[in-house]
Amino acid sequence: MSPRLHVRTITDPAFAENCYVLWLDGSPEAWIIDPGFPPTPQEVESLIEQARLAPAAIVLTHCHVDHIAGVDPLRTSLPGVPLFAPRAEAHMLESPMANLSVALGASISTDPAERSLDPGDELPFAGDQWRVLDVSGHSPGGLAYYSALHGVVLGGDALFAGSVGRTDFPGSSSDRLLKNIRDHLLTLPDGTTVLSGHGPPTTIGRERASNPFLQPGASW
C-alpha cells in the first residue's frame, strides 16, 4: 500500500480560491499550490510549523492574481523555496495588468519563477512523477498536475464541480479550454480526484457524466 497523500485545503474568503498543501505520510517534503490572498499565506505558514513540513516548491497552475497573491509573502517567510510556474505565463508574474490585479485596484507582482514549466514535463514529488498537462483556455498557459499513483489532479481553474473556468479574460479561449479538458482531463481514470482552484473536490467520472458544460451539444 502506498503512503497516504495528505491534502490540506486553505480557502481565502475574498475569492474563495483554494490553496493546497500536499505532503506524503511520513515525509516532511511538501508542495504549496496556488497561494492566494491573506489570510492564506499566514495559514500556510502555521500549517508548515505545526506539521513540521519542509516545503519543496510553491507550484502555480496559472498566474491570475487570486492564485499568486500569496507568493511574495511566502517567498519572504520561506526563503529558498523555489517557485514553479507555467512558462507561457511568465510575463503575468511581473505584470499587474496581465495578472488582472489592476482590475481590482491593486498592483500585485512577484519575481520570476525559479523553474518554468511546460506541458509534458514531469515533476518528482510524493513518491511519483507528476505529469504536467496543458489545460490552457481559462488563462493563456494554464497547467494541471496529475499523479497516477495517488489518483489526483491539481486542475487549477480549468474544471470545477459542475462547471468550467471562465473564458472572458484576456488570453482566454473557450474552444481551447474545452479541447484541453476533453483531451487532457477527461482521458484520466474516472476515479481521479480533481482538486480545483475554487469549489469542492470532484472526480473525472462525475464531471464526464454530469457536468452540463461537457455534455454533447453544450454551448458556452
Domain chopping of the chain, boundaries: 5-214
Q: Where residue 153 falls among pLDDT bands split at 50, 70, 90?
A: very high
Tell me, what amino acid is at 62? H
By C-alpha distance, which of 101, 102, 210 is closest to 164? 210
Mean pLDDT of 147-161: 99
What is the number of residues in the chain?
A: 220
Q: Where residue 114 falls among pLDDT bands split at 50, 70, 90?
A: very high
The pLDDT of residue 216 is 83
The DSSP letter of residue 184 is I
d(Cα 135, Cα 140) in Å, to the nearest integer? 9
Strands 128-134 and 143-147 turn out to be antiparallel
Predicted confidence (pLDDT) per residue in 119-151, tens digit: 999 999 999 999 999 999 999 999 999 999 999
Q: Where residue 1 falls among pLDDT bands split at 50, 70, 90?
A: low
pTM of the shown model: 0.97
Mean pLDDT of 47-75: 98
The pLDDT of residue 111 is 97
d(Cα 22, Cα 56) in Å, to the nearest integer? 10
Structural contact between residues 213 and 164, judged by C-beta atoms closer than 8 angstroms: yes
Percent of the chain with pLDDT over 90: 95
- C-alpha cell recorded at residue 54: 519542509
Would you tell me which CATH number, out of the four given (3.50.50.60, 3.40.50.300, 3.60.15.10, 3.30.200.20), belongs to the domain 5-214?
A: 3.60.15.10
The pLDDT of residue 19 is 99
d(Cα 204, Cα 189) in Å, to the nearest integer? 7
Percent of the chain with pLDDT over 70: 99
CA-to-CA separations, 68 to 51, 117, 197, 218, in angstroms, rounded: 23, 16, 12, 32
